[in-house]
Structure 1
Amino acid sequence: MTRIDKRFAALRDKGTKAFVSFVMAGDPDYETSLAVMRGLPAAGVDVIEMGMPFTDPMADGPAIQKAGQRALDAGHTMDRTFDMVRAFREGDDETPIVLMGYYNPIYSRGVERFLAEATAAGIDGLIIVDLPPEEDDELCLPAQAAGIDFIRLATPTTDDRRLPRVLQNTSGFVYYVSITGITGSATANAASVGPEVARIKAGTSLPICVGFGIRTPEAARDIASVADGAVVGSAIVEKIAAGEPVDAILAFVRGLADATHAG
């Protein structure tokens, strides 16, 4: 079992849902980003989703685009991302870490090298938004062979004919994108998300976590009531962008996590 599998099994045993938080690696700088990351588990985060800064983040809204640019402007690189993960793992060997981003930086680095470095650093999963199932040989299957889960996105436009292909080689959990559009562009609605989660569950035994459009504890609780977990990114990234102290950011995260677990 991967760390992701173990975490979801533990949550099921406790009868609670997963809270997944997104932060951009290196935003606004290496030291602050690492301080936030180190504080996330104590703030109730079950899975850390870490963005890999990239110059053309086509699925992301303004908040996360700007976070990636701040990190790049501060000199953040893939090497520094792995440095962060290794530093985090010195004090925490249990919390799952998922890298989210785009294929170009991985392709440029070389898949074999990237996977070797990710495994050695302590990465547990990948969400690569611009690699469809038809390209599973590129990264999905090699990642799983290396022991890294490949987490696929399902969306409101993933119809019943497409869904089995999306689920075929997915592992860890399924990430359901609750809205059509980019991150931070609309609000998730439990009434519309619930039937979609049920439809996906009919095709897989994997947990279903819902992201995009969750900004408040109330929204996180509502989404967790119909899914296996909630993912929050833009709302946290905006706190970082505003220059709020690390303690204040983590307190905000704690409110989201508590509400999700109550769901």
Structure 2
Amino acid sequence: MIALLVMGGGLWAGYLVATTFFFRPPAPPPELQGVPEVRGQTLGLATVALADLGLEVGRVDSIRHPRIPEGIVIGQSPLPGRTSLPAASVRVTVSLGPEVRPVPDVTRLPGSRAAALLEESGFVVAVDTVESAAPAGRVIRIEPVPGTPVAIPGDVRVAVSLGPPTVPMPALAGLNQTAAVNLLSALGLVVSEIDYRYSLLNVDLVFGQYPGPLTRVEQGSEVRLIIGQRVRAPIGTFFRRRPARSPEQGVRVYPFRELLEEESG
């Protein structure tokens, strides 16, 4: 009996020695920590938020973003809500902000080419067409002005000329010279030449014009007028513009009837 007690005591002592010095049980696992949301914060604030939970910032990547300002965290790994071991690192991605480019000067290019060049440079282009004294198709205005730094993709407006405004030529027949010139001036047209011709029905009145009535012309265009001049030669004698031969006298004449037919026709 005593031998059994001694043997049992020896086994118990051996177990205690083995478990205490040679085969210690594993330590309990550490408590897992939830990863917080740090996106939308600056890198400094994200570092503080992670440190408060026993985590730290690991690798930091940087990329450009068209809308988020420079220095703001836009990505993280592990994602928010995941669990991580204490003192584990969290990888973050920080925005470098949008790329900024100066607006190029494309005023010397045709409107279509200017818009294409701006789009190729990363800008969002809106084209307006306006009446202007500049030739049709020419770029006359850029907003923002060339050289202004703009974040990509930024908005740029281009104004392209439709050419000078056009007006329909008025019918000037029957007006005197002063009235005709004043009317043309009010429409932005210029009288470039006045041709005085003998007339029986339209003395001191307009009876011809170029361009003709209702023709659409650009403002600033030149107009030629034909105004009647009193016939000073006696009726029945010659008129040099349309000569005819008198079989009786053998001279060139312009019969009164033909002059009337020309003006009335």
TM-score over 0.5 (shorter chain)? no
Higher normalized helix content (fraction of residues): 1
Higher normalized strand content (fraction of residues): 2
Q: Which has the higher contact order (CA 8 A, sep 6+)?
A: 1
Q: Which has the larger radius of gyration?
A: 2
